[in-house]
Structure 1
Amino acid sequence: MSTNATLVDQISVCQVVASINENVGGPAYSVTNLAQALYQHNINSHLFTLDYQCHGKQILTTEVQVHSQKASKVAKYFRGFQPQASNYLFNLAAKDLDIIHNHGLWMFPNLYARQAAVINKINLVISPRGMLEPWSLNNSWYKKWLAWILYEKENLNCATAFHATSAEEVNSIRKLGYRQPIALIPNGINIPSLEEEFSRQILIDIFPKLADKKWLLFLSRVHPKKGLNHLIDVWQSLVNQFPDWHLIIAGPDLIGYQEKLELQVEQLNLKKKVTFTGMLSGQHKFSALSNADVFVLPTHSENFGIAVAESLAYGVPVITTKGAPWEDLQHYGCGWWIEDNQQALKVALVDAMQMSERQRQVMGLKGRDLVQAKYSWNSIAQEMANVYQWILGGGEPPTCVQLYNS
């Protein structure tokens, strides 16, 4: 990087992500939204992925050149292993890219991103997407150890820069010894219009148990790291105290974990008090968010927690743990940021459910103000575009970039 900044007129950047199929959630949405928003900031925006049709339709984008190959049977069962895709990305990088921005770890497309960047001598940005957090590293560590030895350590070593979505993630990257610049830029969020309301009846028609109840909503992946088993245990201790409330557990189950949770619900005699909706999208998702009274994410680990931001955007107060980087819930008075244990969760739930509807609405509006101020996609894309310009043109780093201090 030169000491004097040079403005690059047109930058071509390819976002690489394992999947943008709608049932995958998380990065599938944040990466497509980023690619789309970057187009408005003088970025020739590409996106490379595999299409896992078993996980629903791919998320639609506008003004983005999507390069997608149908995932083979081998890719589905062997972490996206698809050499044909590697060749495609290599050729794309050779003729049309200035930067490859890779999202996530442990999958073969992440290896293909590094190989395409290194061989073609172009810059590589890596967004770990929470996968270097201690909880994530310890989960299925034996599989990750093999990937680490085979390719992931070298992928990270070759990064020109990292992108982290929270200060906690910056610390996790530094603790592993990486000294490259780190751009601290949160995920963005689409802010719904206040006039854009979706009837409760949309969900009630499908799940009649939700009628005449206040909604305690969990909406995220159904996965062990989300703390759902703890939530169900705590809920069992509160249902008699709050008979007019109902727990909704919404989200995709990609690993068969929901069956264990349903058994737990049955054993605790909670079937009338808990509803599993599966993946919600479109008007069904918007109905849940528009009409939830409280959102809860008792997670053990998140690099950002896009579901928290989405709930706040709809004016819903949030309960989440310190496993998610949402200290702003306290600062802005729009939720509860608690220790990751059942007692803290119980105290927060009681506090939230005992409030008047008006008090919760006031908290929710504060949350909406927070996401409008800090998480609009336009401002996020502008920061990322500034990082790309700096990588290619040099000069003083943008304010979001943290350099290594020995």
Structure 2
Amino acid sequence: MKLLHVIASMNPTSGGPCQGIRSSDAEMHLYGVQREIVSLDSPDNAFLGMDDFPIYALGPVKTAWQYSPKLLPWLIEHLCNFDVVIINGLWLYSSYAAWKAMRIVKRQIAKKNDGRKLPKIYVMPHGMLDPYFQRAADRRLKAVRNLIYWELIEKYVVNDADGLLFTCEMEMVLARETFKGYRPKKEINVGYGIKPPPEYNDAMRTDFLEKCPEVENEPYLLFLSRIHEKKGVDLLIDAYARLIATGYQLPKLVIAGPGLVSSFGKKVHQMAYSNPQLQDKVYFPGMLYGNAKWGALYCSDAFILPSHQENFGIAVVEALACAKPVLISNQINIYMEIEAGGGGIIADDTIGGTIQMLKRWLELSADQRREAGNKALRIFNDNFHITSSSIAFTNAIK
């Protein structure tokens, strides 16, 4: 089976969808799926050529819509070379161009009767139909823009596709709440998974401590995600400040990820370092890669993410795979699986919820924390291992 992914970017720093494609590629080969990618990345990007699958980079893009004049002609020419096309994500030119190419090629086939066959077309929203994005107070203008765009374009992208592919049950349920006129032909929960992490070795710890030497031989909680308003990192720092002010003894907090140079990143950095009680508690090592990332996970006491919205949360699953308990909000769409399996602590995405989550963690004994870690690993193996998700994905698109 030849599969084409249409995606805005395959830059590793963009996270989520492109990471999922990379993580599952070897497994998908076992089931006879050959992948190719068309993206809007600039063709001179350094990461191109490092993957085992071809990436046709048709950027650079123009405007915030990420328009590229090369994409539509490329799709019209090559669409029928594939058995299945997956449109990854919404709200950008890439999804519109794939839908328009499908309509153009369909008309061409009907007119010429030249033996070509239109591939199956699926949309994988990756959480972009979550009602959070229409309801969040800081997204009111974007919500109006999305509503207009939905009526003009995206509704047809969604409803004309052969089906929508969702990463978890919660994502599929939430997508039904967001827009009127949402009538996909088929909804399929294909799940999502990652490869098991590399086994721990001392080089991981060494590489991590080079980035964050302040936590050597110290217990710490790990926030590993973009430093962004949506992720609730400000709640986490505020909760730390309030608990320490009332006498609680908290582990150190490592906030690792890109975004520290953004206006929000500077704000949360100031929140931490303007408070004398947090200056030797909170550390920002930046984005972690490779051994340093795995060292941060394996050496942590637990992973923490009080996010306001998370479609899947690959970093959450990576923590589970490292046998680490996860302290997360109930706005992360896989929280029910984690709660049911006992692999973490779940709370509201509020300052009160974050404080309560930290208090509950502090109340656990060492044995209870170890058991939560063991349960976390079982949750990963039962729900989020790359093998099971790849089988489900392949069966869904056949």
| Counterpart-to-counterpart distance in 2, 1:184 and 1:41 | 19
* Equivalent in the alignment of 2:186: 181
Amino acid at match of 1:47: I
Instruction: Please show how residues 57-68 of structure 1 align to structure 2 within 5 Å.
Output: 57=47, 60-62=50-52, 64-68=53-57
Q: Could you list the per-position Cα deviations for residues 375-402 of structure 1 after superposition, in whole angstroms to 9, with x for gaps in the alignment?
A: 222221111111111xxxxxxxxxxxxx
* Equivalent in the alignment of 1:247: 253
Shift in CA distance, 24/178, structure 1 to aligned 2, threshold 3 Å? same
Contact 1:21 1:59 in 2 (8 A): no
Task: Quote how far apart the aligned CAs of 1:314 are.
Answer: 0.4
Shift in CA distance, 237/153, structure 1 to aligned 2, threshold 3 Å? same
Q: Could you list the per-position Cα deviations for residues 239-294 of structure 1 after superposition, in whole angstroms to 9, with x for gaps in the alignment?
A: 36455621111112295431121122234342322112221111111111111111
| Counterpart-to-counterpart distance in 1, 2:309 and 2:92 | 20
* Equivalent in the alignment of 2:229: 224
Match of residue 87, structure 1, among 48, 55, 73? 73
| Counterpart-to-counterpart distance in 2, 1:341 and 1:39 | 43
1:111 matched to 2:111? The reply is: no
* Equivalent in the alignment of 1:159: 161
Shift in CA distance, 193/266, structure 1 to aligned 2, threshold 3 Å? closer
1:334 matched to 2:340? The reply is: no
Contact 1:20 1:32 in 2 (8 A): no
Contact 2:191 2:393 in 1 (8 A): no
Task: Quote how far apart the aligned CAs of 1:359 are.
Answer: 2.8
| Counterpart-to-counterpart distance in 2, 1:169 and 1:59 | 33
Task: Quote how far apart the aligned CAs of 1:168 are.
Answer: 2.1
Report the TM-score when normalising by structure 1.
0.84
Shift in CA distance, 52/238, structure 1 to aligned 2, threshold 3 Å? farther
1:355 matched to 2:364? The reply is: yes
| Counterpart-to-counterpart distance in 2, 1:111 and 1:142 | 19
| Counterpart-to-counterpart distance in 1, 2:374 and 2:35 | 34
Contact 2:190 2:396 in 1 (8 A): no
Match of 1:57, SS state, is: coil
| Structure 2: tracts of 5 or more residues without a match | 107-117
Instruction: Please show how residues 28-67 of structure 1 align to structure 2 within 5 Å.
Output: 28-51=18-41, 57=47, 60-62=50-52, 64-67=53-56
Aligned-pair Cα RMSD in Å: 2.4
Shift in CA distance, 242/288, structure 1 to aligned 2, threshold 3 Å? farther
Task: Quote how far apart the aligned CAs of 1:16 are.
Answer: 1.6
Contact 2:235 2:351 in 1 (8 A): yes
Shift in CA distance, 302/45, structure 1 to aligned 2, threshold 3 Å? same
* Equivalent in the alignment of 1:208: 213
Indicate the larger mover: 97-106 or 51-60.
51-60
Shift in CA distance, 209/67, structure 1 to aligned 2, threshold 3 Å? same
1:287 matched to 2:284? The reply is: no
Indicate the larger mover: 184-193 or 296-305.
184-193
Indicate the larger mover: 14-23 or 305-314.
14-23
Indicate the larger mover: 283-292 or 371-380.
371-380
| Counterpart-to-counterpart distance in 1, 2:45 and 2:358 | 33
Q: Could you list the per-position Cα deviations for residues 65-121 of structure 1 after superposition, in whole angstroms to 9, with x for gaps in the alignment?
A: 32223x32x43x423211112222322213x11221011111111212222233223
| Counterpart-to-counterpart distance in 2, 1:353 and 1:88 | 56
Contact 2:66 2:93 in 1 (8 A): yes
| Counterpart-to-counterpart distance in 2, 1:143 and 1:276 | 34
Contact 1:217 1:295 in 2 (8 A): yes
Task: Quote how far apart the aligned CAs of 1:167 are.
Answer: 2.0
Contact 1:164 1:185 in 2 (8 A): yes
Contact 1:35 1:46 in 2 (8 A): no
1:21 matched to 2:11? The reply is: yes
Contact 2:255 2:284 in 1 (8 A): yes
| Counterpart-to-counterpart distance in 1, 2:84 and 2:305 | 35
Task: Quote how far apart the aligned CAs of 1:36 are.
Answer: 4.2
Contact 1:214 1:292 in 2 (8 A): yes
Task: Quote how far apart the aligned CAs of 1:53 are.
Answer: 8.6
Task: Quote how far apart the aligned CAs of 1:199 are.
Answer: 4.1
* Equivalent in the alignment of 1:131: 128
Indicate the larger mover: 304-313 or 16-25.
16-25
Q: Could you list the per-position Cα deviations for residues 279-315 of structure 1 after superposition, in whole angstroms to 9, with x for gaps in the alignment?
A: 1111111111111111111011122111111100001
| Counterpart-to-counterpart distance in 1, 2:200 and 2:186 | 42
Contact 2:205 2:295 in 1 (8 A): yes
| Structure 1: tracts of 5 or more residues without a match | 1-10, 390-406
* Equivalent in the alignment of 2:114: none
Shift in CA distance, 34/206, structure 1 to aligned 2, threshold 3 Å? closer
Shift in CA distance, 128/222, structure 1 to aligned 2, threshold 3 Å? same
Contact 2:302 2:324 in 1 (8 A): yes
Indicate the larger mover: 42-51 or 285-294.
42-51
Match of 1:192, SS state, is: coil
Match of 1:170, SS state, is: helix
| Counterpart-to-counterpart distance in 2, 1:28 and 1:335 | 27
Match of residue 306, structure 2, among 294, 298, 311? 298
Amino acid at match of 1:187: Y
| Counterpart-to-counterpart distance in 1, 2:64 and 2:197 | 38
Shift in CA distance, 159/36, structure 1 to aligned 2, threshold 3 Å? farther
Equivalent pairs, count: 374
